[in-house]
Amino acid sequence: MILLILLGLYSILAGARSQYTSTDGRNWSTIEEENLGGIAMRLKLLETPSLADQEWISLEFENLGGEVIPIRDAFYEIRYQIYDKKGGKLLREARLSSRSPAEIIDGAFASPVPVVGLTPGHNQSARFPSTFGASLLGFPKNGPLYVEALASVTVKLSKLESLNFKWENLTFDFLWHQPPATTLPVLTQRLNQLLAKPEFAPYHHHDLYTLLSIPQLSKQVSSDQLITALEKRQGKEDGRHAILFHLNDQHADTEVVLDFYLQKLREKDLTALIDLAEAADIWDNRFLEPLIALYQEANTGIMFRVMDVLYAHQKDWKNQEGISSILSDLLLYKYEEIIYNTPEQLDASDLLIWSSAISMLGKTGNPEVIPLLCPFMQCQTVVLADELQEDRGSMELPRARRVCDNALEALLRLEGKDLLKAYRKAGYAPPYENGEGDIIIGRIRDEMIRTALRKKRVCR
């Protein structure tokens, strides 16, 4: 992130830079050097940087005194836009910012005392300006990328109030190059090292994601290697999600991957269940037996997870005798004190529970439960505040705020309909602004409910 700030200075202060060749033969530019009360700050940039360069941008401090000078505060923020070429198509944009002063200097927390400071002598900027920045900029496929950015950085030193470095609203541009073909072995080695040794850090996830997205590298990684790397990890920042995404995209139907998840489901491994909820292409009909067993034994929260996985593959089991009934019967048993009532018999908290249960019941594929929905199709009680709504994600589904909304969605699912397609057919066309969507979808749903009640004789 500092890397982009630094590159901003590179453009702004181009006239002040000097060039030199490092001991490894690479050409660098010193963009700017500033001195404040015995503290020097230098900005260095590698010429023609690319993803193959693990160190290509550096913010350095030189403490010319004999004492550690604590960093009282440090922060940077970068907003940048990446184009396919100057004046060309905008590919993506992002806002990046630091989370703590420790992200400024390498080894800032090396001692037992958590003090971030400038030690006497040379202080190198933390590694993720280069590593994290490179992974975010990625691998240009068709020549260099053109980047425009707006950045701000502040470093306040507690030695003296006057020892403050501050850049505000720096605008800059630069070219991010495609790695030379001769560096692919270097990138392959880096990918193998990342897979073998997880780290709990944001740049680790992004590094893995970026390198695995490069076909020239990822095709050399086997399913076995990916599964081994996956088992060493637990969450997003240690790289599990990056590996899972690649497995789902490139290895979903391989025997190694399917056998791995089958065994994990038989072991009732909940991490594997979460994986399958996020990686819809990883599926084998052999998963049905352990998933249904887990569904029958699990608490309500796990039941929801299992149901999400099963519903994503409903076409593979809906016509198999008995499965829909098994799924629905267990829900009816668990919620029998609520689900067989009418809206008038339930208070607000019970209506919330009913809405959650009926949402899951709609995914069972059992049309025999439709009569249970009918009394609630016109109940407009709001069951969830806006801030508690589930994330409908990339599906762009409108929020199910009212009891009748949940009943309608359960009915549509039980009829085998795709929710988003059904809403769009009825006139829903996101995105909307300033809450307009809630008003519009409310009217659309009301009409959909009226239509459904007219057609559904079972609700008369």
Whether 236 is covered by a domain: the verdict is no
Name residue, tokens 């490179």. Answer: 134
With contact defined as beta carbons under 8 Å apart, do 40 and 33 qualify? yes
Whether 223 is covered by a domain: the verdict is no
Of residues 80, 51, 55, 28, the one with CA closest to residue 178: 51
Whether 21 is covered by a domain: the verdict is yes
Q: 3-state DSSP call for residue 284?
A: coil
What are the residue ranges of helices labelled H in 320-402? 323-334, 336-339, 348-361, 370-373
Whether 396 is covered by a domain: the verdict is yes
Low-confidence stretches of the chain (pLDDT beneath 50)? 1-16, 107-114, 386-395
Listed residues 179, 214, 244: the one ending a domain: 179
Whether 152 is covered by a domain: the verdict is yes
Q: What are the DSSP calls for 72-136, one per residue?
A: EEEEEEEEEEEESSTTS-EEEEEEEE-SSGGGTBTTTT-SSS---EE-SEEEPBPSHHHHHHHHH
Residues contacting residue 451 through CB under 8 Å, at least 6 positions apart:
none
Of residues 83, 86, 116, 121, the one with CA closest to residue 99: 116
Listed residues 141, 164, 179: the one ending a domain: 179
Amino acid 396: pLDDT: 67
Name residue, tokens 């604590």. Answer: 70
With contact defined as beta carbons under 8 Å apart, do 101 and 116 qualify? yes
Whether 218 is covered by a domain: the verdict is no
Amino acid 113: pLDDT: 42
Of residues 398, 456, 386, the one with CA closest to residue 431: 398
User: d(Cα 89, Cα 452) in Å, to the nearest integer?
Assistant: 45
Whether 217 is covered by a domain: the verdict is no
Total count of residues recorded for the chain: 460
Q: What are the DSSP calls for 403-428, one per residue?
A: HHHHHHHHHHHHTT--HHHHHHHTT-
Range of the domain at 356: 332-460
Listed residues 152, 179, 206: the one ending a domain: 179
- Total domains in the chain come to 2
Give residue-wise pLDDT tens across range 312-341. Answer: 999 999 999 999 999 999 999 999 989 999
Of residues 133, 136, 138, 146, the one with CA closest to residue 84: 146
The radius of gyration of the chain's CA atoms, rounded to the nearest angstrom, is: 28
Whether 68 is covered by a domain: the verdict is yes
Amino acid 390: pLDDT: 45
Give residue-wise pLDDT tens across range 199-227. Answer: 887 678 888 999 999 999 999 999 999 99
